[in-house]
Amino acid sequence: MKCLNNIIISMVLLCLNRAAQAQGHDAHWIFGNGYHLRFDETGPTVLPFIDDFYAFEGASCISDKTGDLLFYSNTIRIWNREFLPLFNSDTFPALDVPPSSSKTNGSMFLPWPGDTAGRFFAFFAINDTDDKLYLSKIDKNLDSGLGGVVEDCKYKLVWEFEISEQLCAVKHGNGEDWWIIARKGSVTSSEFIISLFTSEGLGNTMIESSGFEGGFAGELTADLSGTKLALATTYGPALPTVAVYEFDRCDGLVELMDTILTLNGSNFSYGISFSPDGSKIYYTTIEKTRLYQLSLFEGALYDSLIFRYAGSDHLYFNGSALQYGSNGKIYMNYRKATLSGGFDGLSDHLGVINFPNLPGNFCHFDTFGVYLNGRESTTYSLPNFPNYDLGPLIGSPCDTLSPVDTTQTSIPVFPQGTNIWSVIPTISNGLFAIRGAANGTLMVYDLYGREVFRKSLTNTPSFDLSTYPAGLYWVTVQSDEGIWYPALKIIRQ
Q: Which residues contact 400 (CB under 8 A, 6 or more apart)?
A: 174
pLDDT tens, residue by residue, 222-233? 999 999 999 999
Residues of the chain with CATH 2.60.40.3080: 405-492
Determine the topology of domain 405-492 in CATH.
Answer: Immunoglobulin-like (2.60.40)
User: Looking at the predicted structure, is the pLDDT value of residue 83 above 90?
Assistant: yes
Q: What is the rounded end-to-end Cα distance, in angstroms, of the chain?
A: 36
Q: Which residues contact 459 (CB under 8 A, 6 or more apart)?
A: 439
Instruction: Name the residue among 82, 124, 123, 73 with its Cα closest to residue 100.
Output: 73
DSSP 149-214: E-GGGSSEE--SS-EEEEEEEEE-TTSSSEEEEEEE-SSEEEEEEEEEEETTEEEEEEEEEEEEEE
pLDDT category at 94 given cuts 50, 70, 90 is very low
State residue 470's pLDDT score. Answer: 84
Instruction: State the Cα–Cα distance between residues 491 and 493, nearest whole angstrom.
Output: 6
State residue 419's pLDDT score. Answer: 78
State residue 414's pLDDT score. Answer: 66
pLDDT tens, residue by residue, 248-287? 999 999 999 999 887 655 568 899 999 998 999 999 988 7
What is the dotted CATH code of the domain comprising 4-83+98-135+157-371?
2.130.10.10
Residues of the chain with CATH 2.130.10.10: 4-83+98-135+157-371
Q: Which residues contact 190 (CB under 8 A, 6 or more apart)?
A: 209, 210, 211, 212, 213, 214
pLDDT tens, residue by residue, 6-57? 333 334 334 434 444 446 899 999 999 999 999 987 789 999 999 989 999 9
β-pairing verdict for 427-428 and 488-492: parallel
State residue 293's pLDDT score. Answer: 92
Q: Which helix (H) or strand (E) holds 14?
A: helix 4-14
State residue 412's pLDDT score. Answer: 62
State residue 9's pLDDT score. Answer: 35
CB atoms within 10 A of CB 383: 25
pTM, 2 dp: 0.79
Strand order in the sheet with 330-336: 317-324, 330-336, 349-353, 365-371
State residue 296's pLDDT score. Answer: 81
